[in-house]
Amino acid sequence: MISLALASIRARLFPILLVILALTSSMALLLAVDRIKVATQNGFNQSLSGVDLVLGPRGSGIELMLYTVFHLGKPTNNITAETFKDIAQDPKIEWAVPIALGDSHRGYRVISTTNEYFERIKFAGDQTLQFSEGVAFKELNEVVIGSAVADALGYTVGTSMFVTHGSGALGELHDDFAFQVTGVLAPTGTPTDQAVFVSLEGYELIHLGWTNGSQAISLKSLDILKIPKERLYPQTITAAYLGLSSRLGLFQVARSINEYSEEAVSAIIPGVALTELWSIVGSVDSAFKLLNWLIIGIGIIAMVTMTMTALESRTREMTILRALGATPLHLSSIILAEITLISGVSVVLAVGLVRLLTWVSIDLMSEWAGIRIELIWITMNELLVLGLIVLAGLIASLIPAGMVYQRSLHQGFSS
Amino acid sequence: MILETHQLTYQYPSGKTLYFPDVQLRAGEKILIIGPSGSGKSTFLNLLSGVLPNQDGSIRLNGHNYEAQTRQQLDQLRADHVGIIFQSFNLIPYLSGFENAKLSLRFSEERRTNVSDIRASITRLAEGLGLTSEILAKKPEAMSIGQQQRIAVIRALLGKPALILADEPTSALDPVATEQFMTELARSIDPSEQAVIVVSHNPILTPLFDRVVQIGEAA
């Protein structure tokens, strides 16, 4: 039956190729979207480890996660350094790393923080940040850059750079104070790769003389060495990462921070906020998946319609085969074999296409979106999904196969 | 005896009933079933080939009673013992002449065992019918009607089925080609094991057959 089905497919190659194209692209789209989603989810989940709580201004926990961890959106409010210090003194809190956000460098977000950031913040489970080149900043004018920043801008240890005020491309340049790269972080596959790190004091320094978002006094007119060190500690910070001495006290510490009476602050548990985030993204994902399945459904309908339309012109072929002793079941099997072959070829092509696209775009996706997609052939789950699609195609093909069966059962030969 | 029918009748869903004459066919015999359009010639052929269920009367082919067979067994019986030639469009368009001829062995183990070398058998039959290997390699669209009919004959004869049924096989041919075709068909069969029934509305074919059976009495 297979050889006859193959010969029949060869004879109707063009329309069948179009159906294969439709099925292949829709299945490839389904696979690609799912892989991007999984890679994004992994990227998000692996972006921050070792942090028990994120302290920030009271508001949306998801928003706080987005702008602190994923560098998406802008901080809406700050918290005072005084509050941060007060909370950090809690004996249940083992360590606290403050961060202040707002500025950028050629589109990459600048994170001002302390040296402890590079020791405490982990990613992908329990991996600590490593320097591929140089060391962490020590001085006011020193900066550490993520691997993607170094690759994209061609920066290396010793490169001088200025920071732009604000996160937009049109922000004013802090061109009165140059930073020098002292370290380049090894790739992590997380938003860290796309960040520029300066010390809190260095960050405060470049904002001295700034009022209402514009520069009033240039640093060039000041003797930086004479500025008292305590004057350079920021009055406010954007957020802080907290590590507890025991995770048993997690909810207790979170509650006490959320009930902090001196300032409207809150503490979020990263895992909980991520779950909330995925529940929102999940509905978009479901809608997209539904759309995808609809496209696949249309592909299957096109395949069955094509087969049914061709049946009329194949009446003679079926009659000849019946005359040769083919049973109605034989004839239905030819139709089923054809559809199985079309679906099978589409599945193989879809898997190949997705692998090819992944191979081509793997670096681009990592640099552009910070998403690391694995270069794999197929997962068990994907195989199951594609198997379901083939099965759906086969079930749908029972309609034309049944038509052939019924017709050949009741129809005699006539010349 | 290759074929024996007894008191065959067939009733259409419309209620119209056809009564067919009894036929006895021995090996080597060629009979012509003749009758006007609508007389039931094709229905008779469908009954003999086992495609239409036998409603009343009996058919016995090579020792097998149709009444005792299931539909599937009738299909197998046809595959093993019957070679069919249609009026036209005998070939599957996407297969070559050779592949079309070989198709008759696909559904019958018995016919397959009768052919030790498929290529040699097809070539021998083709040469007997005046077809070259170049023609066998062609697709039906590149062949003349006469060449297509000859390929259909090869397919019907391959594996030596006992009964060759031909439904108006010469209607698309001119009188000279018709006579040549029938002569070649008669020459190609094994008179010790095979017999031929040709259905036609054309009485001009009568001298080419051993017997003529008239169909056409409707009740």
Ramachandran bin of B15, using left for φ above 0, alpha for ψ from -120 to 50, beta for the remaining angles: left
Contact: A11, B93; criterion CB under 8 Å: yes
Within 13 A of A194's CA, how many CA atoms are on the CB side? 20
Full 3-state SS string of chain A: CHHHHHHHHHHCHHHHHHHHHHHHHHHHHHHHHHHHHHHHHHHHHHHCECCCEEEEECCCHHHHHHHHCCCCCCCCCCEEHHHHHHHHCCCCEEEEEEEECCCEECCEEEEEECCCHHHHCEECCCEECCEEEECCCCCCCEEEECHHHHHHHCCCCCCEECCECCCCCCCCECCCCCEEEEEEECCCCCHHHHEEEEEHHHHHHHCCCEECCEECCCHHHCCHHHCCHHHHCCCEECEEEEEECCHHHHHHHHHHHHCCCCCCEEEECHHHHHHHHHHHHHHHHHHHHHHHHHHHHHHHHHHHHHHHHHHHHCHHHHHHHHHCCCCHHHHHHHHHHHHHHHHHHHHHHHHHHHHHHHHHHHHHHHHHHCCCCCCCCCCHHHHHHHHHHHHHHHHHHHHHHHHHHHHHHHCCCCC
- Average pLDDT on A15-26 reads 90
pLDDT at A407: 76
pLDDT higher than 70, residue A415 = no
pLDDT at A411: 64
User: Which of 158-217 (B) contact A at CB < 8 A?
Assistant: 167-168, 171
Q: Which residues of chain A lie closer than 8 angstroms to B167, CB-CB? A: 413-415
What digits encode the pLDDT tens for the residues A186-199? 988 888 999 999 99
Please give the interface size between A and B, counted as residue pairs whose CB atoms are below 8 Å apart.
Answer: 75
CA nearest neighbour of A87 among A238, A317, A267: A267
pLDDT at A367: 66
Which residues, listed in sequence order, are joined to residue A226 by a DSSP beta bridge? none
- Average pLDDT on A9-21 reads 89
- A151: buried, middle or exposed (CB in 10 Å: 19+, 13-18, 0-12)? middle
Contact: A324, B92; criterion CB under 8 Å: no
Q: Show the domains of chain B with their CATH numbers.
A: 3-214 (3.40.50.300)
Q: Which of A125-134, A173-182, B89-98, B164-173 has the lowest mean pLDDT?
A: B164-173
Place of tokens 């080609």: B177
pLDDT at A355: 93
Closest CA–CA distance from residue B42 to any residue of chain A (Å): 6
Q: Which of A123-132, A141-150, A307-316, A341-350 has the lowest mean pLDDT?
A: A307-316
Distance in angstroms (rounded) separating the CA atoms of residues A341 and B216: 48
Contact: A415, B87; criterion CB under 8 Å: yes
pLDDT at B219: 38
Distance in angstroms (rounded) separating the CA atoms of residues A266 and A53: 10
pLDDT higher than 70, residue A240 = yes
pLDDT higher than 80, residue A312 = no
Place of tokens 């490169």: A159
Average pLDDT of chain A, as a whole number? 87
What digits encode the pLDDT tens for the residues A202-220? 999 888 877 777 777 777 7
Q: For A175-186, give one letter per residue: b (16+ CB within 10 A) or e.
A: ebbebebbbbbe
**Regarding predicted confidence, which is higher, B146 or A365?**
B146
Ramachandran bin of B57, using left for φ above 0, alpha for ψ from -120 to 50, beta for the remaining angles: left
Minimum-distance CB partner of A415 among B51, B76, B167: B167
Distance in angstroms (rounded) separating the CA atoms of residues A109 and A191: 10
Distance in angstroms (rounded) separating the CA atoms of residues B140 and B93: 6
- Average pLDDT on A242-261 reads 93
Distance in angstroms (rounded) separating the CA atoms of residues B154 and B201: 24
Contact: A10, B99; criterion CB under 8 Å: no
- Average pLDDT on A170-178 reads 84
Q: Which residue of A has its CA nearest to B171?
A: A415
Closest CA–CA distance from residue B167 to any residue of chain A (Å): 7
pLDDT band at A155 (very low <50, low <70, confident <90, very high): very high
Contact: A324, B95; criterion CB under 8 Å: no
Alpha carbon distances (Å) from A142 to A238, B86, B99 = 21, 92, 80
CA nearest neighbour of A92 among A270, A268, A239, A255: A255
- Average pLDDT on A245-254 reads 92
CA nearest neighbour of B125 among B165, B176, B159: B159
What digits encode the pLDDT tens for the residues A44-100? 777 788 899 999 999 888 889 888 888 888 888 899 999 999 999 999 999 999 999
- Average pLDDT on A252-281 reads 90
**Regarding predicted confidence, which is higher, A408 or A113?**
A113
Contact: A413, B84; criterion CB under 8 Å: yes
pLDDT at A369: 66
Contact: B106, A324; criterion CB under 8 Å: yes
DSSP letter assigned to residue B138: S
State residue A73 phi and psi, 5-degree precision.
80, 180
**Regarding predicted confidence, which is higher, A255 or A289?**
A255
State the maximum Cα–Cα separation within chain A, in Å, rounded to a whole number: 108
Minimum-distance CB partner of A325 among B42, B91, B107: B107
Q: Which residues of chain A lie closer than 8 angstroms to B104, CB-CB? A: 324
pLDDT band at A413 (very low <50, low <70, confident <90, very high): low
Distance in angstroms (rounded) separating the CA atoms of residues B60 and B74: 11
Minimum-distance CB partner of A8 among B76, B94, B108: B94
pLDDT higher than 90, residue A43 = no
Regions in chain B scoring below 70 on pLDDT? 217-219
pLDDT at A257: 95
Amino acid occupying residue A66? L
User: Which of 59-88 (B) contact A at CB < 8 A?
Assistant: 71-72, 75-76, 78-80, 82, 84, 86-88
Spatial CB neighbours of A177, under 8 Å, sequence gap ≥ 6: A141, A162, A205, A206, A219
DSSP letter assigned to residue B5: E
What digits encode the pLDDT tens for the residues A313-349? 788 888 889 888 888 888 888 888 988 899 999 999 9
Q: Which residue of B has its CA nearest to A5?
A: B94
What digits encode the pLDDT tens for the residues A269-285? 998 888 888 888 778 87
